[in-house]
Structure 1
């Protein structure tokens, strides 16, 4: 929606991504359909965010002959889910790259201060040696994403990307103020945040809609 975005923000505008996102925005879409659509979109987003994975060649034997073919040059990426809603994106990404390593960061947004509070953290010990893709459906205020990236950098992560379904301009600004070196991939940059910190027009609370908790 909002086309005024920084150069290091990639909007994945594939038609299927956009159509499925429209279905997810509908308030009458039930949780089971919302989860299915999120998984489908996540696979398409994962395709885009992994586009620049480095390749090398290795000799293999086909039924016809031995020859050189492309394989991943480096270790498989690590997907880091920001709990709980990030797990909805994680499912689709794992379908595309099941050998990826996985970590989880538990953060919740204090509704008074809108700041992120950590309650869980478990990631692979070798994240410094892998590309790390952090996933969360919403980049709203940006506080949660900034805190998660900061925590991962303290553990040595250097090659980082952030993947979300929706972003607000305010969240992008906050994120890149804290981490200008980390590119963002999203399906849409919406208009703004409202007074409660929700993305407008958005799709509501992603976690509640995934799990049917409201």
Structure 2
């Protein structure tokens, strides 16, 4: 292990951002709130499938199409747009700002590695008051592939001019941390969403119940012996 990271990248959707308010938008267009989870899972699956097939996966286009499919094409395009536009209005989790601040104040480069567009991600960070802690935004649109393809983590390391083993990804998804590990990066997994990481994924370097706990543990990783 190379020691503490000099770059920490945070996943955004479900790690920094709470998706649950999208359920209210679904109800406002006549759909059940419980549709949120299968829609988001279909959205992720379809985007990953396009990446595996060697194609690009534009965030908005895939989000809209997966919502059309999940609702059996019963929604108008206006309603589809209304729900998908909700991604830009979502709140952050309470532990997001403290975790970003902790790493930033430690002198470590902080970034976001996400599948949304660069402009929308920056607008979200500004609106949520997180931009002051974030030095870089790297997206699937930049890299040309979705997570967890190893190339996106390698692209991020190259973009930020750091060895891959000095870059860490923080996420609430074990599959995302697995992708980072497979690419040679460090990872920090937060248990908020999945409770346990599961045996099929490579273990993260650090785990915690909150993003702040994960941040503390990443900053406390021992340096290699000389």
Q: Please give the range of the TM-score, normalised by the shorter of the 2 chains.
A: 0.3 to 0.5
Instruction: State TM-score, norm by structure 1.
Output: 0.39
Instruction: State TM-score, norm by structure 2.
Output: 0.38
